[in-house]
Every structure is written in structure tokens, then in C-alpha cells.
Structure 1
Amino acid sequence: MNDLEELRKGIALFNNREFFECHEVLEDQWRHEMSDLKDLYQAIIKIAVGFYHAERKNYVGAGKVLRKGLHQIEPYLEPGRAEFLELHPFVDQCTQCLAELERAEQGFFPFDTSHIPKLRWASDKRPPPASH
């Protein structure tokens, strides 16, 4: 499989809420990535792990990892970085989930996993070529 196929597979797993499997696929890709997308892979991995914990009601762990992933993905919101993904709505929705997780941590109500966003491909942008 080439880099793009692995990224597509990882994102498909994320969108199917198979967060552990997404982590496994993208972690291997992240280890071999040589381009400036390396941190993007790691950010998506952290966000997936955060939601993995959220589904298991480990709200404290979920919040910590999700917060780190959101911080790491911020540079990719800049124009020209990862325009092949619709990151702005994804990050906005993840940020809303983080706020919900913080309320769930305090025992107000359980986290509603139906709010977990999907990561979408931008329809008018092509992903970068393979890095190896």
C-alpha cells in the first residue's frame, strides 16, 4: 500500500469509529513519514486515541489526549498546509467534544459519542504525493 492509501484507510477507520485500528494504521505510517505531514498523522492518532478513551468512559484520559491532538493539529489549519482535508470543521467539532468531555468528567452527564465528528476529504484539493 502507498502512503495515500494508508492515510485513506486510517481516515476511513476513524470515520467508522474504529479508533484503535485507525491508531494502528496511522502509527505505522507516521513512523515512516518524512514530509511535513508527520505531525498531522500524529495529531490524528492522538485524536483517535482520545475518542477511543471517550467511548470507554475514561473521560479524564480522553480529554488529555484529545487536547494534545488538537494542539498538534493547529498548524495544519493554516492555508497551504493540509488543504486536502476539511480540518476546520473537524477541529471545531472536536473542540466541542472536548468541552462535553470536560462536563462529563465532572459528572454532569455522560459524553454523547454520537457527537464524534468525521474527518472529511476536501473535494477540490488533491493530497500531496508520497513522501518516500
Structure 2
Amino acid sequence: MTGTSETRRADGRDRDTEGRARNARPRDGLGRPLPYGADGVERQPEGVVRAPEETVTEAQTLLDAGRPFHAHEVFEDAWKSGPQEERGLWRGLAQLAVGLTHAARGNATGGARLLRRGAGAVEEWTSGTGRPVRPYGLDLAQLTFWARELASAVERDGGRVDAAASSPRLRGRGA
């Protein structure tokens, strides 16, 4: 959420003080809305500008905790606030996190589709002329391999995955 406070209007819709739609319902660890008044997990603040290394570190911490939806929000901030030439990279990483979110929620079709889409975006970004192979220490080759393997397993098994146990190592095995 942003620093603006949120209110529920008489029509039941959540809006920030500037009138923009904001869902103030609590969320579970996979980002699913819970009923008003339920205990949820703390949401990631939106619109935070971080250094790329901070983005990777924070996203890894969230992935390790089984919170890929929240990691996606961190990547989304980097995608929206970062330099134009890096937006494809951060968007692809956000898609990987959302794919893991869907797989953990039991949505095999959506999970596999987003994992493959994210892998393709990351792979496409790495094919750009002069781009680093391991930007910010990210092991992009391993991430694309991980995403495609998980997509195949989710489709094959059709079941829910454990988000923490299935999360990738963004900087590779030794990181």
C-alpha cells in the first residue's frame, strides 16, 4: 500500500484519500483476499523505489518465506521505477513470482503459463546486445531453467506446490 490512508465508502468500495481504487481487505500469504476483519499478513508497500540489489535481496527473502505474491510486488516496483532498458527484466521476474503464486494456489494452468511467460521474458532480455549475463548477481539461466521445470511439473502433477519449498534461488545455488 502507499503512504495514503484508505477508506471504505458508503458503497463498500475501498478508495485512497485521492479516490483511487485500493483493496483494503487483508490478504493471506499468497495474496488472496480475506474477509474484512480477518488476520492477514502484512502487505508490501507499493511504489517503493529500491536499488536493484535491494530488490533482489528483498524478493529472495519473501520467496524463501513462501510469499511469492509479495515478491512479485517488489519486482513490480522495480519494473515501474527502473530504467526503461531494464523493465523487461523486472517484468519477467515479476511474472515468475506470479506464476509460482498461482501454482501454490493450485491454479496449474495459470501457474504454468505465467512461469513460461516469465522465463521467456527473462530469456529475451538476456539476448539483448551488451546486456550482462548476471545482472545484480541474478542467475538468469538458472531461473529460466527453474521456471520451465516447475511449469512442467505443475502441469504434469496438476497439484498445488509449496511456495517456499519450490522457490528459486535468484542468485543461484550458492547465494
State if a TM-score over 0.5 links the two structures.
yes
What stretches of structure 1 of length at least 5 have no aligned partner?
124-132
- Residue 3 of structure 1 corresponds to 51
Counterpart AA for 2:132: R
What's the RMSD between the two structures over aligned residues? 2.5
- Residue 99 of structure 2 corresponds to 50
Shift of 1:50: 0.4
Shift of 1:10: 2.2
Cα distance in 1 between the residues matched to 2:102 and 2:168: 15
**Greater RCO structure (CA 8 Å; 6+ sep):** 1
- Residue 148 of structure 2 corresponds to 95
Quickly say closer, same or farther: Cα 1:6–1:68, change in 2 above 3 A: same
Normalising to structure 2: TM-score of the pair? 0.58
Q: How does 1:74-85 map to 2 (within 5 A)?
A: 74-78=123-127, 80-83=131-134, 84-85=137-138
Count matched residues: 119
Counterpart AA for 2:170: L
Normalising to structure 1: TM-score of the pair? 0.74
Give the conservation status (yes or no) of the 8 Å contact 1:97–1:116: no
- Residue 117 of structure 1 corresponds to 168
Shift of 1:26: 1.8
Give the conservation status (yes or no) of the 8 Å contact 2:56–2:170: no
1:32 is aligned to 2:84: no
Give the conservation status (yes or no) of the 8 Å contact 2:50–2:78: no
Give the conservation status (yes or no) of the 8 Å contact 2:62–2:68: yes
More helix as a share of residues: 1
Cα distance in 1 between the residues matched to 2:101 and 2:113: 12
